[in-house]
Chains A and B, each alone.
Chain A
Amino acid sequence: MGTSERLHRTDPERTGPIRDAATYLRDAPSGDPGPASSDAADTPESAVAHGVRLGYKVIEEQILQGQQLAQRLGKATGKLGATGAAEATVLIERVLHLYKDVGALCMDAVEAVARSSAVRAGLARASDAIKAPHGSAEPPPAAPTPIAGARYSVEVASRRRLQVTLDLGMRAGQYVPRVLPLHAADAAIPALTAVSFDLDPALSEPRLRIDVPDTQPAGTYTGVVVDSASNEPRGVVSVRLLP
């Protein structure tokens, strides 16, 4: 069969993925609307590249200082006197900051791309980070105190397949929840009563516990979550017990 008698593929625009951090960020996929760029003056690509290079500049600055310190140590013929120990402490502090600064800079730079209106501010922060004197060595900040109840775990004791839906109108940390019995549409069907909130000691998170008897008929059971102090309704728990 000749070339004119069969169909041909059109040439692809490319044959591989874009891996380059400076260029792979772009408009959101067609099915996934994302934030639109309104800052045409600074392209995302140049901002990322600039931000990342700033990160490396921090590294190089730190390395240079470490190198200078090493030179002084060399002149001290390997003996660490009082001054050497102090400088060692400085070195330790600096290398600690090196690790932290690299991460912080990269985050700043890429975030700037995600929100192009903040590109300039992000890069300014990055520049400031280079110029700012480093403080004393200290551990990175501890994890923020968890917001109690920001996330629920669900523990189900059931031999049956079911789906649980927990819909709360307010953040759980603002009240102590209590759930009322879960009823089926048919009033003749016994309600699910072994449903409660407690605190999961392993995760320090609030936990919704549901115990479904083996004999419970299939169906959808719904109950109201209330603020245990005021008895005001706060949400709904729904259990779909599958046949």
Chain B
Amino acid sequence: MHRDGPVRVAVIGGGCASITAAFELTRPIHQGKYQVTVYQQGWRLGGKGASGRGPAGRIEEHGLHVWLGFYENAFRLLRECYAELGRDPATCRMATWRDAFFPDSHVAVAEPAGNGEWLNWTAFFPPADGLPGDPLTADNPFTIKSYLVHTSALLRTLLVGLRTRHPQSDGCDTSAGAAGGGTDVPPVGTVESFIAQVADWLRFGALTAAAGLIEAAALVELVVRALPLYPQNLALQWLNAIAGIVRGQLESVMCADEDTRCKWEIIDLVLAILVGAVRFRLLLDPRGLDAINQYECREWLRMNGASERSLNSAFVRSLYDLALAYEGGDPQRPGLAAGQAVRGSLRMFFTYRGALFWKMRAGMGDVVFAPFYEVLKKRGVRFEFFHRLENVQLAPADTLAPGERPYVQALEFDVQARIEGGGEYQPLFDVNGLPCWPAAPNHAQLVDGARLQQEGRQFESHWDRRRVDTTTLQVGRDFDFVVLGVSIGVIPQVCREILARDARWRAMVANVKTVATQALQLWLREDMRQLGWNAPAVTLSGFVKPFDSWSDMTHLIPEEDWGDDAPPKAVAYFCSVLPDPPAPPPDGDAAYPAARRDEVYANAVHFLNHHIRDLWPRAAGADGFRWELLADPAAPRSTQADAASTDGAYALQSQYWAANVNPSDRYVLALPGSLQYRISPLDNTYDNLTIAGDWTDCGFNEGCVEAAVMSGRLAAHALARWPRLEDIIGYDHP
């Protein structure tokens, strides 16, 4: 790379990965070497993390956004962003990152009780040392040692808890050596006597031994199974008898105590991971956990001894729900690559800092993308809103010099709107002193804005292709390098030439799949305790479809702008996958988004009428949901109850719901057998193009903020050799 003057970088898209790349390329260390322009369709940054302020300053999100305590890259950059932003704590309530995020240590899972009702388990994850984004010290959390230490500690904690809470102990602590009185003891020296002994261990709390016994026996079982030493394979029969009967005994004991059973399931899964790590020799495999990405996670756990009960437990279902891991949005087709699932679980449970979850004090757009936008503006980054990429044009193959790699020759955009005066669009507006993104564009800034508004142009809809102009950027004249930060769902639309030439890209598009999601937000006029939820404010998953995940977001109310006229007392966010239709809609089907939105609305009505009582018992009566609970920002409180009582479910129209069906809005899956098709931002097949997003091969190949940030950092490294790969936290990881 050599030439006088700044290097011009076109960043396409404004999601986490793109903004990260822009942030990295404009660091002071580069001394202005990179001149970055961000091209964004519509009026706001954020991608799948975008949010907007609606009526009454309501925060309207793309979905449920909670950051995890292991998002080291994301938090590190966010902290740097806030430090550079330099807001005054005396005058701004969101001056530091700690103002913007707060720890949430409560997690809940929902489980069907078998009688049509649901049990809700709430767990408290104790605060862990440090804060996410802190400099790493000698106690680097991303080592095998650290994982094993944490795993051992978890097992010990769970096992000790089991022993002291066993129902038959009558509240007394029992020891492994205690004898079981009143049991008919079979003759010594028989299989029955051995089984009776094991049963006594279980009954009197020797679960530490029992858990190790079962897993170790299963390991020996596997080895013996591979040794055809005996015609009758007596040893195998013997071991199978032990394993089967011991598991049966264990399950019968566990069923007496739901809390014990829940913990046993987690023990069972953790042990299966440990046994699997040994069986598959993951510690020595140069591919690390990627070596088992061909397996579906449940299948792999089953191979390593996990019980069916554990595999179908609320805990496992919750992990799938949180990862939206359902191919095609079909609950009957769960799919998670085992290696990435284990990596994600290890990172999630054993390397979090501060708290397992971190919640935002306002919308993700407000606390993440607005600060980044402001900092990037200060650094001289230009933003071209209302620019929708239409084509990445490659230089014709016959024009390449010998040995020259293919490169992007031009970028073709549809211009969705022009800005009055020809300047830059000013996207933020003020909500109680905080710069925020609106839920709709500011048409007053647009040329012919009133007409565009009247025509109902949907600037973020894939199915609204209307434009006011086109523009083409030429390499050498307008840009030198491209960071393609659009989502994988958009690639078939905009990278037609690359796909026509490149089998790797075709394989990536065919195998890296996405899923549509649905979101529902409710503002309620009674607090959670009044509604019957007596546990702490939680993030819960594993609940009934179509809204299997719920987070209590009541803390957001002070950040909204309800005035003094009876603001709501609770806010609830729900989300889940949204099943795909049998055939994808044609690009010309302008009615498709609205139809899916109507579908989500119907889902919400049914969900509230029939299922919400299992979470909030007092939110529904004999006739279904109490619609008068919904707070309507458009109506004074005195009129709301009357309107709701007459219109019933129509009151839901005052709330917020979304069908995230745009290709760029779809959540990226980590399906078994698919991850090897991802392409890295470091790949240099195309000389002046790098890619960025949580769909790339970024080291943590699962749809999340952390993956997107890691990918953005990799994209920056691909162009600028900075940050160092060693500084991308968790990139080099088993």
Contact = CB atoms under 8 A, between A and B. Distances in A.
A9 B227 contact: no
A98 B234 contact: no
B248 interface: no
20 contacts: A1-B395, A3-B400, A5-B476, A6-B480, A8-B688, A12-B717, A15-B682, A17-B733, A24-B734, A25-B143, A55-B283, A56-B284, A77-B234, A78-B238, A85-B188, A100-B212, A114-B143, A138-B209, A139-B209, A140-B212
Contacts of B404: 3
Contact of A7 (B2, B149, B238): B2
A121 interface: no
B145 A71 contact: no
Nearest to B275: A99
Contacts of A103: 148, 151-152, 274
Contact of B229 (A1, A32, A74, A81): A74
Interface string B102-146: 000000000000000000000010110000000111101001110
Nearest to B155: A140
Interface of A: 1-3, 5-32, 34-35, 49, 52-53, 55-56, 59, 63, 66-67, 70-71, 73-74, 77-78, 80-82, 84-85, 88, 91-92, 95-96, 98-100, 102-103, 106-107, 110-111, 114, 137-140, 142-143, 151, 153, 161, 163, 202-203, 242-243
A9 B719 contact: yes
Interface string B666-689: 000000000000001011100110
Contact of A67 (B224, B289, B684): B224
B223 A7 contact: no
B732 A17 contact: yes
B255 to A, nearest CB: 23
A28 B732 contact: no
Contact of B124 (A19, A30, A203): A203
The contact size tier of chain B is 35 or more
B734 A19 contact: yes
Contact of A85 (B140, B193, B208, B734): B193
Nearest to B287: A19
B266 to A, nearest CB: 16
A11 B684 contact: yes
A34 B238 contact: no
Interface stretch (B60-68, B484-492, B722-730): B722-730
Contacts of A13: 725
Contacts, number: 228
Contacts of B237: 78
Nearest to A96: B212
A114 to B, nearest CB: 7
Contacts of A88: 194
Interface in B138-196: 138, 140, 143-145, 148-149, 151-153, 156-157, 159-160, 176, 188-191, 193-194
B475 interface: yes
B238 A29 contact: no
Interface in B43-59: none
Contacts of A202: 124
A70 B216 contact: no
A7 B727 contact: no
Contact of B284 (A53, A73, A81): A53
Given A74-B230, A95-B219, A80 B727 contact: no
A140 B188 contact: no
A143 B191 contact: no
Interface in B647-705: 680, 682-684, 687-688, 690, 697, 699
